[in-house]
Amino acid sequence: MDRGGQARRFLTGALLAAACASALAAVATQAPLRAARWLPSERQARGLAQLPSECLTPAEDPRIARRIAIGRAAFRTPLLLGGQAARAGLSCDSCHRNGRGNPDFSFPGLSGAPGTADVTSSLMSSHRGDGVDNPTAIPDLAGPASQLKVSRERNTHALENFVRGLIVEEFDGPPPSALTLDGIAEYVRALSPQACPATQAQPIGLATYLSDARAALQAAQYALDARDPATARLMLSSARTALGMIDERYAVPSLSRERQGLRDADLELAAIQSAADAGDPNAASRIAAWLARMPRWSEPLRARESDSLFDQDRLAAAFPD
């Protein structure tokens, strides 16, 4: 028995675990807006103020459109990736903002230069971690198909297999449901350079995340119609992620009343999640009722948006270059 080799491997594993814990702790204790934690300080104000425009081709087939909606919502919740990524708050959208790239992404222990990530990092994966620091450029998923390494042809299922490998092996996440996996593949297939709008970027505002929450809840209804509670839970998580993005922008004492309305709405979504998990047949109607009540708490937020960190001047003051 190679006791010396065992000891070295144990020590290496312990050091890697300590390094991972240290990197994740550093991320968790930094800036008040989660996305700022993986942006260089000189790029935070810009990166938190705008998103690259989404290049999404609308689907004519309603079945495909539903799958795209499910994939788009799954793309935006850390729950999909699980493991260390979920603990740090990373989603697919963190690296591929609006399905594009992220030239500013800089995660401690995972990135080299901004806009890169090590897909074989032991920080995120016990399956693919190779102990070698080899970050590569994050691709734009709406770029030309010739520049992407996986076929998008439906009959090959290559894209589905690739996405499953990313979730389960690259991030140690739980295996996604068939509906979720199919949805993510359809969302990625719908991204193309031909669908890019003339405007290269869009401002981030309250409406950005309200729209994401609404779309995720509609996707949850699609999942419930398909009798897939696991996917419905993920969609509800995506909606709650969007509410969390709003909540952190309103973390100002003078906005406590508006923020409480938002938090009450989130608690109701948590209750709906539990109901869906338990197979409550009224879960879909509760989502519809929640959507109908959105104006009650979103309009007060809208009225005070200029006092929140959605305001670009306040954002720039909070994140000076």
Mean pLDDT in order along the chain per 10 residues (321 residues): 40 41 48 91 95 96 98 98 93 97 94 92 82 91 85 92 94 95 97 95 97 98 97 98 98 96 98 95 97 98 98 94 76
Measured N-to-C along each axis, helices 158-165 and 178-189 cross at an angle, to the nearest 10 degrees, of 110
Cα 255 to Cα 239: distance, rounded to the nearest angstrom: 21
pTM of the model: 0.89
Q: What is the reported pLDDT for 124?
A: 85
Q: What is the reported pLDDT for 132?
A: 86
Q: What is the reported pLDDT for 14?
A: 38
Cα 251 to Cα 32: distance, rounded to the nearest angstrom: 9
Contact 93/76 with Cβ under 8 angstroms? yes
* Structural domains of the chain ordered from first start: 54-196 (1.10.760), 204-321 (1.20.120)
Q: What is the reported pLDDT for 30?
A: 56
